Amino acid sequence: MQKRKLGNSGLEVSAIGLGCMGMSFSYGPPKDKQEMIALLRDAVERGVTFFDTAEVYGPFTNEELVGEALAPLRDRVVIATKFGFATGPGSDPRGMGKGMPGLDSRPEHIKAVAEASLKRLRTEVIDLFYQHRVDPDVPIEDVAGAVRELIQAGKVRHFGLSEAGVQTIRRAHAVQPVAALQSEYSLWWRRPEEAVLPTLEELGIGLVPYSPLGKGFLTGKIDAATTFASDDFRTALPRFTPEARRANQALVDLIGRIAARKQATPAQIALAWLLAQKPWIVPIPGTTRLSRLEENLGAAAVELTADDLREIDAAAAQIAVQGARYPETLERLTGR
């Protein structure tokens, strides 16, 4: 597996990471723990060094899973986790767009979350600690300052932001250098190209795209007739209504045509497209199956030429993606 550096931070990771959320949260019922431990360890053996989790996934159970699976391999991996949601009594992290938990990025809360995450992850240091969503009630300078103190104490190595807007990124970076921004970015969500990507390039910050396969849609395995379990959070997403899926099939068809020509799968083309955008972009597709993991990792070997990329961009520009990516309540938490 090729390696990439996240901006100027010096943090080097596998070119494709692994998003762990779906193993225990959001995409139907939690998967079998022992099977997921085996999958995580298989990922390391296949060259993956970058693993993404968060306290809110579960809550807590995903960090515990990642911690147990990777503890014997800790010196070979980079673990990223997140703070910023209230996970105490009365919060509803499982809502994910139906009944979101409150935000809490007070410095004392950040430090408490770090201590708890360290225990669940069975580690002495968090490699990359993201603010999960920007908290409008806490100045970002205070957030960055709290993480800086954790870095000085040796409990965190790098500071990250998730779904933050340009001004927030600049203000945070001025207090504590931001190693990476995690935000949704894919062939069907390209808004980061407008202002965020140029800012990251200017400041030397890496980008970690989540949902690089459009929450599964860009794999070509989902169509208008697909049904989701009631506890699959895609049931709450406007972009996943049957009507939107039917309208958005044109994008999947485009990717499929390129994939056939390249003797690759649609998922591999979608990931290869991301890798071709910038050398400091590291997507983190999630999966719960070894076959899909191997397929995703194969994207690193798919080379898209300049002509391929121009063709994709020209064709994609003719396709108007239908449906908001999140309900309004959740979209309001992004881009601040």
Type of residue numbered 10: G
Catalytic residue among 27, 57, 130, 185: 57
Residue 226 has φ and ψ, to the nearest 5°, of: -65, 135
Q: How far apart are CA 217 and CA 210, in angstroms?
A: 13
User: Given the DSSP bridges, would you call strands 156-162 and 178-184 parallel, antiparallel or unpaired?
Assistant: parallel
Chain centroid to CA 126: how far? 17
Give CA–CA dist 218/108, Å, rounded: 40
The answer to whether 57 is a known catalytic residue is yes
Catalytic site positions: 57
